[in-house]
């Protein structure tokens, strides 16, 4: 009997020890490869805060974050609301609330699956930052272990601060500072009691209780929060009743327009690759001009709404930059809300005749002039027979005429004379970064490019030096800095276009004045090039005036043909409308502000582009004397302001201009 009792005791002890080893082994397996974070990983996670050129917040869709705010600087009502509904004993218990966990365990056993967590705020923070929303016992054990670790290395206030700035609150807002701005248009420390209760109520189900989607559901949840505050002794019943009788109503702030999302994504992705993941908030001032951005977006949207269905044109993109590459507007499609795909940056499309800029630049570098002649006639290159638009050929034409009228066979014949290799070299020297195929059809733009890349190459012509790299960040403020530090972009290995700039501008100006781009003509100076790919799959207009370089693309995502849309139709229309409104009197201050911001940042300013007199930049031909004397011009009462608008080669002293086709200077009779 005694021996039998001893055996049972040994058996029980062995079973307990075995169970302990099994449990320990199970726990070791669950906790294998668990990462225990440093204090910085919890409290100093990176936030990139972007601002427009005029200082307005630029927020990412689905990831709206603002610089973190310390819990002690948030309203006491907000802190009481969050703790009352999420973890009322946060400051009393440790990392894990055993009572809450046992209660949740009972609910899970009854349901036969994990339906309740009983998580403390520390555990919720671990789930947000490190583990994700998976509902398994393994994840809960890891969550508890990391929470214990964190509570041994951080104060409760540090944990709460991190939680309040990292919890997701619907409509893309992460953290209470962002949610306060998104839903109520105010800073977090300005929230009222009803507003604080509404935001606190969204923590458990931000999608369901989002006031933008279901205001009544959000108000019902806010009432539950107010009741929890009363039960927790943080609010009187009278104050709770008053808050319920005057519930919060969303008042969304005027942040950046949705269309700015394409630019924000472009800049944010660039910034994220070079800023450390830890260290706090990095503030960046960008080059984006929000008024120009809204203007560009509205014009693209209205043009597609009016002509898109008829012309089977589903998408369009626009990039506007200054000649130094500072991007002031970027539209990546018809609607950012419907598609975040950036057709200005990501889409690779055939540029068609917009590529001919590089054919002719190569020719100029080989000694050709705009006045030299080239044969525009059928050509056969190893069985490939390109054709002009509507199969119309003009015979012997000047390079200027061939370029202005976008004559395909003349361009192909010219590229064959200078060599496709030279065309590729010219394109790359002008800043085009695309991969170019060495074949005869390259002359007609069959290698794919992006709108941003092609527009940057045209910016080089406007600037008179290449390459011009597009950029969008003008200043940076690190966590410990008081002010924005200007970005001193590294000195790029740029080369001057020299005399070729004036010749290229002359060619581009001819396109607008009497060529395929007449629909883009402005009251003042304008230069650009149309482009249309085969079967009307892509249509382009890239050009510039005195202040801006703008590229426009129109087409379909599935590469389906449009109904006769060419570069000189919808793209030129969009380009002209944007340019005219961007340069309207009420927009002049906007553009000037952005230019000043850029020049302050880079340390240099740029005078508006002025085409020099042709007789001073074309050394190959001796300048002809003016046919009209200054006295004669003055006696004819020359209209100097109007002539200056129309002719960049205009000379006020004798009221003459240099015709694009060369020859003697002509009297301006406008």
What is the average pLDDT across 445-466? 97
Structure tokens at 493: 């290995």
User: Do 357 and 460 form a contact (C-beta atoms < 8 A)?
Assistant: no
Rounded to whole angstroms, the Cα distance separating 577 from 376 reads: 33
User: Do 377 and 393 form a contact (C-beta atoms < 8 A)?
Assistant: yes
Q: What is the pLDDT of residue 57?
A: 86
Check residues 152 and 26 and name the one with the higher pLDDT: 152
Across the chain, mean pLDDT equals 84
pLDDT tens-digit series, residues 282-301: 999 999 999 999 999 999 99
Rounded to whole angstroms, the Cα distance separating 352 from 443 reads: 9
Buried-exposed string 517-555: b where 16+ CB fall within 10 A, e elsewhere: bebbebeebbbbbbbbbeebbbbbbbbbbbbbbbbbbbb
Rounded to whole angstroms, the Cα distance separating 136 from 143 reads: 10
Q: Is pLDDT at 238 greater than 60 in this prediction?
A: yes
User: Do 576 and 520 form a contact (C-beta atoms < 8 A)?
Assistant: yes
pLDDT tens-digit series, residues 324-365: 999 999 999 999 999 999 999 999 999 999 999 999 999 999
- Is the sign of the CA dihedral 125, 127, 133, 135 positive or negative? negative
pLDDT tens-digit series, residues 144-191: 889 999 999 999 999 999 999 999 999 889 999 999 999 999 999 999
pLDDT tens-digit series, residues 530-562: 999 999 999 999 999 999 999 999 999 999 999
Structure tokens at 23: 């449990």
Q: Residue 39: which region, alpha, beta or left (left: phi > 0; alpha: psi -120 to 50)?
A: alpha
Q: Is pLDDT at 112 greater than 80 in this prediction?
A: no
pLDDT tens-digit series, residues 48-67: 999 999 988 888 777 788 89
Question: How many CB atoms are closer than 10 A to CB 382?
Answer: 6
Q: What is the pLDDT of residue 520?
A: 98
Chain-centroid distance, C-alpha 68: 23
Confidence band for 39, pLDDT divided at 50, 70 and 90: confident
User: Do 577 and 514 form a contact (C-beta atoms < 8 A)?
Assistant: no
User: Do 606 and 546 form a contact (C-beta atoms < 8 A)?
Assistant: no
Q: What is the pLDDT of residue 21?
A: 45
Is residue 263 exposed (0-12), middle (13-18) or buried (19+ Cβ within 10 Å)?
A: buried
What is the average pLDDT across 239-264? 90
Least confident of 180-184, 442-446, 473-477, 484-488: 484-488
Check residues 371 and 600 and name the one with the higher pLDDT: 371
Confidence band for 610, pLDDT divided at 50, 70 and 90: very low
Confidence band for 37, pLDDT divided at 50, 70 and 90: confident
Q: Is pLDDT at 96 greater than 90 in this prediction?
A: no
Q: What is the pLDDT of residue 137?
A: 66
Q: Is pLDDT at 629 greater than 60 in this prediction?
A: no
Q: Is pLDDT at 660 greater than 50 in this prediction?
A: no
Q: How many CA atoms lie within 13 A of 648 on its CB side?
A: 23
Q: What is the pLDDT of residue 63?
A: 77
Q: What is the pLDDT of residue 119?
A: 86
User: Do 510 and 623 form a contact (C-beta atoms < 8 A)?
Assistant: no
Buried-exposed string 390-422: b where 16+ CB fall within 10 A, e elsewhere: eeebeeebbbbbbbbbbbbbbbbbbbeebebeb
Per DSSP, the residues of 399-425 read HHHHHHTT-HHHHHHHHHHH-HHHHHH
User: Do 580 and 548 form a contact (C-beta atoms < 8 A)?
Assistant: no
Rounded to whole angstroms, the Cα distance separating 398 from 392 reads: 16
Residue 330 forms beta bridges with which residues? Answer: 319
Alpha helices in 445-568 (DSSP H): 451-463, 499-514
Q: What is the pLDDT of residue 377?
A: 95
What are the φ and ψ backbone dihedral angles of 174, each rounded to 5 degrees?
-110, 120
Confidence band for 481, pLDDT divided at 50, 70 and 90: confident
Q: Is 241 helix (H, G, I), strand (E, B) or coil?
A: helix
Residue 272 forms beta bridges with which residues? Answer: none
Least confident of 330-344, 367-381, 575-589, 600-614: 600-614
Least confident of 235-249, 436-450, 647-661: 647-661
Q: What is the pLDDT of residue 252?
A: 78
Is residue 514 exposed (0-12), middle (13-18) or buried (19+ Cβ within 10 Å)?
A: middle
Beta strand spans in 240-336 (E)? 281-286, 315-321, 327-331
What is the average pLDDT across 211-215? 94
Q: Residue 428: which region, alpha, beta or left (left: phi > 0; alpha: psi -120 to 50)?
A: alpha
Q: What is the pLDDT of residue 109?
A: 59
Q: What is the pLDDT of residue 632?
A: 36
Confidence band for 117, pLDDT divided at 50, 70 and 90: low
Q: Is pLDDT at 222 greater than 70 in this prediction?
A: yes
- Name 264's Cβ contacts closer than 8 Å, sequence gap at least 6: 50, 58, 59, 60, 61, 256, 288
User: Do 574 and 554 form a contact (C-beta atoms < 8 A)?
Assistant: yes
Q: Is pLDDT at 253 greater than 90 in this prediction?
A: no
What is this structure's pTM? 0.78
Confidence band for 115, pLDDT divided at 50, 70 and 90: very low
Q: What is the pLDDT of residue 665?
A: 64
Q: Is 465 helix (H, G, I), strand (E, B) or coil?
A: strand
Rounded to whole angstroms, the Cα distance separating 222 from 195 reads: 8
Q: What is the pLDDT of residue 226?
A: 97
């Amino acid at each position: 009997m005694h021996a039998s009792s001893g055996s049972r005791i040994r058996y029980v002890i062995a079973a307990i020890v075995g169970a302990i080893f099994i449990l320990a082994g199970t726990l070791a397996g669950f906790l294998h490869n668990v990462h225990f974070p440093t204090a910085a990983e919890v409290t100093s996670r990176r936030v990139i805060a972007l601002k427009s050129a005029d200082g307005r917040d630029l927020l990412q869709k689905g990831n709206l974050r603002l610089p973190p705010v310390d819990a002690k600087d948030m309203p006491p009502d907000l802190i009481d609301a969050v703790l009352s509904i999420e973890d009322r004993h946060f400051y009393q218990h440790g990392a894990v609330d055993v009572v809450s966990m046992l209660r949740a365990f009972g609910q899970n056993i009854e349901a036969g699956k994990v339906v309740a967590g009983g998580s403390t705020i520390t555990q919720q923070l671990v789930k947000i930052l490190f583990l994700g929303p998976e509902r398994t016992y393994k994840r809960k054990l890891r969550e508890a272990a990391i929470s214990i670790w964190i509570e041994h290395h951080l104060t409760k206030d540090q944990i709460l601060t991190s939680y309040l700035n990292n919890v997701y609150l619907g409509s893309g807002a992460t953290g209470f500072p962002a949610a306060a701005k998104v839903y109520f248009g105010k800073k977090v420390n300005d929230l009222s009691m009803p507003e604080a209760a509404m935001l606190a109520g969204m923590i458990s189900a931000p999608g369901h209780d989002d006031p933008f989607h279901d205001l009544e559901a959000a108000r019902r949840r806010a009432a539950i929060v107010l009741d929890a505050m009363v039960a927790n002794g943080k609010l009187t019943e009278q104050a709770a009743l008053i808050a319920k009788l005057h519930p919060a109503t969303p008042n969304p702030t005027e942040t950046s327009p949705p269309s700015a999302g394409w630019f924000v994504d472009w800049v944010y992705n660039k910034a994220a690759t070079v800023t450390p993941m830890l260290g706090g908030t990095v503030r960046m001032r960008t080059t984006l001009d929000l008024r120009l951005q809204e203007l560009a977006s509205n014009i693209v949207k209205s043009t597609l709404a009016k002509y898109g269905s008829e012309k089977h044109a589903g998408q369009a993109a626009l990039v506007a930059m200054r000649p130094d590459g500072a991007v002031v507007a970027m539209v990546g499609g018809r609607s950012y809300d419907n598609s975040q795909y950036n057709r200005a940056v990501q889409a690779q499309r055939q540029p068609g005749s917009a590529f001919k800029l590089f054919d002719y630049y190569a020719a100029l570098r080989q000694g050709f002039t705009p006045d030299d002649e080239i044969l525009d006639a059928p050509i056969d290159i190893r069985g490939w027979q390109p054709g002009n638009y509507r199969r119309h050929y003009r015979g012997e034409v000047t390079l200027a005429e061939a370029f202005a009228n976008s004559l395909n066979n003349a361009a192909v014949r010219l590229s064959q004379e200078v060599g496709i290799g030279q065309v590729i070299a010219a394109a790359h020297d002008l800043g085009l970064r695309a991969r170019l195929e060495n074949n005869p059809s390259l002359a007609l733009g069959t290698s794919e490019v992006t709108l941003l890349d092609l527009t940057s190459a045209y910016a080089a012509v406007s600037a008179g030096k290449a390459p011009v790299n597009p950029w969008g960040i003008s200043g940076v403020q690190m966590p410990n800095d008081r002010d924005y530090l200007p970005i001193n972009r590294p000195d790029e290995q740029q080369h001057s276009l020299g005399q070729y700039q004036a010749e290229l501008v002359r060619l581009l100006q001819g396109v607008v004045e009497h060529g395929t781009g007449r629909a883009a003509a402005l009251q003042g100076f304008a230069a650009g090039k149309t482009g249309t790919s085969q079967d009307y799959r892509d249509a382009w207009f890239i050009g510039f005036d005195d202040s801006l370089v703008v590229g426009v693309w129109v087409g379909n995502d599935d590469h389906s043909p449009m109904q006769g849309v060419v570069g000189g139709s919808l793209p030129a229309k969009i380009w002209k409308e944007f340019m005219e409104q961007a340069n309207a009197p009420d927009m002049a201050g906007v553009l000037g502000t952005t230019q000043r911001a850029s020049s302050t940042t880079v340390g240099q300013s740029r005078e508006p582009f002025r085409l020099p007199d042709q007789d001073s930049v074309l050394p190959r031909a001796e300048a002809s004397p003016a046919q009209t004397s200054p006295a004669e011009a003055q006696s004819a009462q020359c209209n100097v302001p109007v002539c200056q608008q129309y002719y960049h080669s205009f000379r006020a002293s004798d009221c003459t201009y240099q015709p694009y086709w060369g020859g003697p200077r002509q009297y301006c009779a406008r």
